[in-house]
Amino acid sequence: MKRRTVLAGILPLLQSGQWLDRLLLVNQGEVIEKRLLGITDEGTTEIAVLDSDGPTVSNEHEELLGQAPGEITTETANSLRETYDDLRFHTTVSHHGTSLNIFGRTGTIEYQTSRALYSGMAVGDHMSFQTSLLERDTIISLSCITSERESLQRRCPVGVEDPTAER
């Protein structure tokens, strides 16, 4: 049997493993950091960072973001868009090792997400979530979110009304 024939048979199996990872398996982890970034032609500005030490907000946006830089309303996002061409909502997750997640991700990974999902999670929350089929480092939905790892399930009420709300 030619090597090309063998590779042609194995390649689809390897690719289907990646699709299985995204389609069937739920990622689980703890939110350890949230970052709100503003993008312009000149570069990227870190507008707010939330981690276990608390929130840090850039001086020029302290008044707008107030005491809740982790919950960005539509109005706040629109106001920020007057200054920035694009807003990016990033969440860093420390993955839980689970026996169900054979092809799952491990370690600490930074994901991009929507404004609604970013606002719906807090540093220290444990969550079950799904990533995009096309952009593996983008969280597209939450299945469960809880303050304690022991309470985390594959599915539970999340409280985010529209996870696809504008980015």
Query: Could you read off the pLDDT of 120-136 as tens digits, one per residue?
Result: 999 999 999 999 888 88
Rounded to an integer, what distance in angstroms lies between the CA atom of residue 37 and that of residue 24?
31
Across the chain, what does the average pLDDT equal? Answer: 82
Specify the pTM: 0.77
Query: Which of these ranges, 15-24, 35-44, 69-78, 146-155, has the smallest mean pLDDT?
Result: 15-24
User: With b meaning 16 or more CB within 10 Å and e meaning fewer, what string describes 85-109?
Assistant: eebbbbbbbebbebeebeebbeeeb
**In angstroms, how far is CA 142 from the centroid of its own chain?**
9
Helices assigned H by DSSP within 31-98: 62-65, 74-81
Q: Could you state, in order of their start, the residue ranges of all structural domains in the chain?
A: 3-151
CA dihedral defined by 57, 29, 131, 47, rounded to 10 degrees?
0
Helices assigned H by DSSP within 32-112: 62-65, 74-81
Q: For residue 51, is pLDDT > 80?
A: yes
